[in-house]
Amino acid sequence: MRLDEFAGANAGYVLELYERYRQNPESVDPETRKAFESWDAPTEQPQPSTVAGAGLEVGPSIDIRKVVGAANLAECIRRYGHLAAQLDPLGSPPIGDPSLSPAAHGITDEDLRQLPASLVDGPAAQSAANAFEAIEKLRRIYCSTTGFDYAHVFVPEEREWLRRAAESGRFLPPMDAHSMEAVLDRVTQIEAFERFLQRTFPGKTRFSLEGVDMLVPILDEIICGAADHGARHGVLAMAHRGRLNVLAHVLDKPYAQILAEFKDPVAARSFRTDLGWMGDVKYHAGARTAAPRGQMYITMPPNPSHLEAVDPVAVGMARAAGTRAGQRGAAHFDGAITVPILIHGDAAFPGQGIVAETLNLSRLPGYSTGGTIHIIANNQLGFTATAEDSYSTSYASGLARGFKIPIVHVNADDPVACLEAAHLAWEYRARFGLDFLIDLVGYRRYGHNEGDEPSFTQPTMYKKIAAHPTVRELWARTLVDKGTIPPDLPESLVRKYFSELESIYASLKPEQEYAPPLPTKAPAGAAARVATGVPLDRLREINEALLVRPEGFTFNRKLERGLERRRSAFANPTERSIDWATAEELAFATILADGIPIRMTGEDVERGTFSHRHAVFHDANTGKQLIPLQEFPQARASFEIHNSPLSENAVVGFEFGYNVQEPGRLVVWEAQYGDFINGAQVMLDQFITSGRAKWGLAPSLVFLLPHGYEGQGPEHSSARPERFLDAAADINLRLVNCTTAAQLFHVLRRQAALLERDPLPLIVLSPKSLLRHPAVASTPRELEEGRFLSVIDDDAARGRAGGIERVVLCSGKVYVDLVTSDRRGAAANVAVCRVEQLYPFPKIALNEVLGRYRSVRDVVWLQEEPENMGAWNFMRPEFEELIGDRCPLRYIGRARSASTSEGSAAWHQLNQKMLVEQAFDLRSPAPEPSMVLSKEV
């Protein structure tokens, strides 16, 4: 071992070790001791040794501690220099760190002057005369208006790349006059837009960008860089702040349209409600560039007020845009062609859990985007709350550290530093395919919105802001002072952009010319006309192909029996041999054979929560995977399935984004249990059920939500169908509760057929214990000849319709409880009919069924859920209208309750039994107080 084999901090470390060894050989580990024993010790031997091969002679004249101190100081500046960077344009002092001073390392500036620059290592050392100069250079890099914060990046190659990138300055923007003037031109355009709106619409909410104006040039830089690198799709997501400016200048939304929208047109077309169109405020609107930048189109999804909720949506859109799915096998994702950019708020980023959920998707094979670029538009306030009120981390960006995302904090008043950060961001993404974060530290020129008074809560800060020049003014002054531009240029640029806006405003066309296009209406009854049956021979062939065993693949023994059963499923077309899982797999397979790609995700979906799916087999000896839906030769599109991370909110948002970006693919998300969907309630309310009414989006995502009362307690019984029914209006979703395998087969195939013709989200309340119940199994013939039935009449009762005195209408698993009960045989006067589709309400089909039973004494809606839950509140007015005064309507179900179900299986059984008894008991209801109600309404 020779000392000159080590460089910079490593040399310092080795010397420190050596010094320790010299003091006490036992203080170092045996291997190191052995190495030092054979080392020609520099202080004991007169022959000098060199550090970093740069001519430092370590001999009796040099104090090793100074060498170690210098090397450690350099390392501390690299690690903690950002703590001393001047990031706040308003001048608040950085917190600093003691380790950044030479004294902390037992050295002085004079000592540093005596040491060679090579101790500092890297580009900063290259043209420096000594260590002092190199350290000063390092300070200018790490403690200036940029804070490079990457020490948490674990992978040495990435960290070294970042170090070189920061220290070499190779991503600094070109400093020629033309480039510098172009920056001035751009910031003038950005500022003029805001000032024009302020002057023309005083006090009107626009959520001005002012204070972090450099956001737009940063986006320009990232987009141009990514486009040059071959990206074709950019997805840009942001909340309200600065959105109008970004829409105008990055998405190229015409000024005329923005100005017209500011006038809030009262045009007849905007008030059209025939499709449930309600629209949304202007700073939630989405957009897509009309022409590409390079070859790259940029899309900005619309977003709700719920901060950060759009993050996973945008990431899902980018994933879809970069995925090729039109071939058999697995889907192919290429991160190079798609770039998501998320713009966050400094209070929202640390505060909203959806951010952490989204960051957690970044490196997962089923979700990664090849790197998402994050920008925190950090105006140091969240409404009125300060950083101290808002986060426990040192920076707003702290959360990103845990995900090993490099962070660059940058002062928003320094255009050069901002552009360097932007260039670094896209180069890093292009190089490593990983996330990057820019923390753009600025301020907010006005209140939370333009009508808000910020001095109520931040009086001193707003005094500073009032006196603080804009970035345009600062930059103009810099360029004029340097002689780069003539002194009158800044004002003439301001006049140019103002007069452009003024003339557009003066020549606005009638407001309705700018009204957004409304969603198109699907042809009425499209769903009812879809043929979903598949010829038996075709099904048999596909079933056999799915069961092909690859040479040498060993299945788990416990799965063998099921596989054998599957093999004979088509032996007899009228035998109930198709269980739920088989129906699902055959539905998927036939959809793939029709050329429609499928993406399925959810917690543990590969196997299925209830161990019923086994879409992915694992070789019992090697663990190697087999995915039959990717292998069978009839497939004409890709099948991807991924176990999701343990998240509901972000993953549902992600699938929604994927779905709206690529509406021609069937996207299925399954909840572990249906009740967990409330973790994604924001996504349901803000995007899925209202997206069409607000923004004209047309999601067709499928939700499989295990639902049914089986005594597992309040948390695993109900998928809360009432929440979907509460949000159901203007035909915005389909909600089904299937009771047979064939029904599932047909409803999935129907959904696939309607993806582009009549897209709607499909919510399937799926079974648990019924997955293997013989009562839900179907015959092959039902797959061939059937179709999805929104209502299923009682076959047994139809033949004796005249004698039926009660029609019990119910949905889902409770039907099986009813027809398998002992009471059923004795109750020949009761028909039990299934409402398989809860929404859209199947009025025609129900009318037909009820019309068959002319002598009924009452019609019952029976449900397992408490009276204030389930479908009852939604169904009741529909039934009342349908039944009119033909007969009374009766409710049978659990009484109103704050909790979804009993916490004890025994109690559940008791109530379930009572439900069944009351269904078949036409006398007055039992008088004793109970959890179960039977009442006329």
3-state secondary structure of 773: coil
Per-residue contact track with ligand TPP, 347 to 386, x per CB under 6 A?
A: xx----------------------------x-x-xxx---
- Beta carbon nearer to ligand TPP, 58 or 377: 377
**Number of H-type helices and E-type strands within the chain:** 36, 27
- The single residue listed with the structure tokens 């039934």 is 879
DSSP state of 385: B
Report the 10 Å Cβ neighbour count for 498.
16
Stretch that binds ligand TPP, among 344-352, 504-512, 673-681, 909-917 (CB under 6 A): 344-352
Q: How far is CA 31 from CA 9, 17, 37, in A?
A: 21, 12, 10
Least distance from C-beta 248 to ligand TPP, angstroms? Answer: 18
Q: Which two tokens stand for residue 502?
A: 């003024």
Query: What minimum distance in Å lies between the beta carbon of 423 and ligand TPP?
Result: 24
In sequence order, which residues have a C-beta less than 8 Å from that of residue 108 and are 6 or more positions away?
Answer: 102
In whole angstroms, the minimum distance from the beta carbon of 439 to ligand TPP comes to 12
Q: Where in 98-246 does DSSP place strands (E)?
A: 146-149, 233-237
By CB neighbour count within 10 A (0-12 exposed, 13-18 middle, 19+ buried), where does 901 fall? buried
Residue among 347 and 783 whose Cβ is closer to ligand TPP: 347
- Which residue in 560, 562, 556, 567 sits closest to 624, CA to CA? 556
Closest CB 326 distance from ligand TPP, rounded Å = 38
| Nearest CB to ligand TPP, comparing residues 129 and 281 | 281
- In the complex, minimum distance from the CB of residue 842 to ligand TPP, in angstroms, rounded to a whole number: 37
Parallel/antiparallel/unpaired status of strands 233-237 and 436-441? unpaired
The piece of 21-29, 288-296, 339-347, 655-663 that touches ligand TPP (CB under 6 A) is 339-347
- Closest approach of Cβ 412 to ligand TPP, in Å? 13
**Identity of the residue, 444 or 734, whose beta carbon is nearer to ligand TPP in the bound complex:** 444
CA 919 to chain centre: 45
Evaluate whether 681 touches 723 at the Cβ level (below 8 Å).
Answer: yes
Token pair 């003091």 is found at: 23
- The footprint of ligand TPP on residues 697-756 (CB under 6 A) is none
Asked if 669 and 704 count as a contact pair (C-beta separation under 8 A), the reply is: yes
The nearer residue to ligand TPP, 213 or 346, going by C-beta atoms, is 346
Told to check if 393 binds ligand TPP by CB under 6 A, we report no
- Least Å distance, CB 383 to ligand TPP, is 4
Q: Determine the interface stretch with ligand TPP among 310-318, 342-350, 602-610, 799-807 (rule: CB under 6 A).
A: 342-350
Tokens of 827: 């109750």
Q: What does the per-residue mask of binding to ligand TPP show for 647-686, with x meaning CB under 6 A?
A: ----------------------------------------
Q: Which two tokens stand for residue 665?
A: 């693919």
Question: With respect to ligand TPP, which residue has the nearer C-beta, 257 or 372?
Answer: 372
Give 925's DSSP letter.
Answer: P
Residue 164's CB is within 10 A of a number of other CB atoms, namely 12
Q: Is 241 in the site for ligand TPP (CB under 6 A)?
A: yes
Q: Which string of DSSP letters, residue by residue, matches 793-826? A: --HHHHTTGGG--EEEEE-TTHHHHHHTSTHHHH
Considering the complex, what minimum distance in angstroms separates the CB of residue 347 from ligand TPP? 3
**786 and 757 Cβ atoms separated by less than 8 Å:** no
Nearer to ligand TPP, 88 or 662 (CB): 88
| Binding to ligand TPP in span 271-310, by CB under 6 A | 305-307
Residue placing its CB nearer to ligand TPP in the complex, 137 or 241: 241
Q: CA dihedral defined by 593, 594, 599, 600, rounded to 10 degrees?
A: -70
Is the CB of 351 or the CB of 780 nearer to ligand TPP? Answer: 351
Residue with Cβ nearer ligand TPP (280 or 836) = 280
Q: Which of 675, 670, 759 is nearest to 710 (CA)?
A: 675
Q: How far is the CB of 307 from ligand TPP (least distance, A)?
A: 4
**Bridge partner list, 438:** 375, 408
Nearer Cβ to ligand TPP, position 242 or 657? 242
Cα–Cα nearest to 73, from 89, 62, 84, 60: 84
The three-class DSSP label of residue 332 is strand
Nearer to ligand TPP, 682 or 762 (CB): 682
- Displacement of CA 51 from its chain's centroid (Å): 50
**List 345, 699, 708, 866, residue binding ligand TPP (CB under 6 A):** 345
Distance of closest approach, residue 356 Cβ to ligand TPP, in angstroms: 14
CB of 490 to ligand TPP, least distance (A): 27
Give 474-506 as a DSSP string.
Answer: HHHHHHHHHTSS-TTHHHHHHHHHHHHHHHHHH
Question: In 643-740, which residue ranges form alpha helices assigned H by DSSP?
Answer: 649-661, 681-683, 691-695, 721-726
Closer residue to ligand TPP (CB): 306 or 886: 306
CB of 692 to ligand TPP, least distance (A): 22
Q: Report the nearest approach of ligand TPP to the CB of residue 298 (Å).
A: 21
Q: Closest approach of Cβ 285 to ligand TPP, in Å?
A: 16
* Residue 269 identity (one-letter amino acid): R
Contact 49, 43 (CB under 8 A): no
Whether 630 contacts 790, CB under 8 Å: no
Q: Closest distance between ligand TPP and the C-beta of residue 280, in Å?
A: 14
Pick the stretch among 54-62, 217-225, 343-351, 670-678 that binds ligand TPP (CB under 6 A).
343-351
Closest to ligand TPP by CB, 241 or 613 = 241
Alpha helix (H) residue ranges in 568-648? 580-593, 628-631
Nearer Cβ to ligand TPP, position 212 or 542? Answer: 212
Backbone angles phi, psi at 192, to 5 degrees: -60, -40
- Give min distance, CB of 148 to ligand TPP, in A: 23
Are 839 and 787 contacting, i.e. CB atoms less than 8 angstroms apart? Answer: no
In whole angstroms, give the CA distance from residue 645 to residue 649: 11
Question: 117, exposed or middle or buried, with CB in 10 Å at 0-12, 13-18, 19+?
Answer: buried
| Residue 86 C-beta: closest distance to ligand TPP, Å | 21
CB closer to ligand TPP out of 194 and 794: 194
Give the one residue of 75, 210, 346, 439 binding ligand TPP; rule: CB under 6 A. Answer: 346
Q: In the complex with ligand TPP, which residue's Cβ is closer, 305 or 499?
A: 305
Total residues in contact with ligand TPP, by rule CB under 6 A: 13
398 binds ligand TPP (CB under 6 A): no
Smallest gap from residue 440 Cβ to ligand TPP (A): 11
Point out the residue whose Cβ comes nearest to ligand TPP. 345
Separation CA 770–CA 739 (nearest Å) = 9
Spatial separation of the C-alpha atoms in residues 439 and 305, rounded to whole Å: 22
Assess whether the previous peptide bond of 840 is cis (omega < 30° from 0): yes
Q: Which is nearer to ligand TPP, 305 or 622 (CB)?
A: 305
Residues making contact with ligand TPP (CB under 6 A) = 241, 305-307, 345-348, 377, 379, 381-383
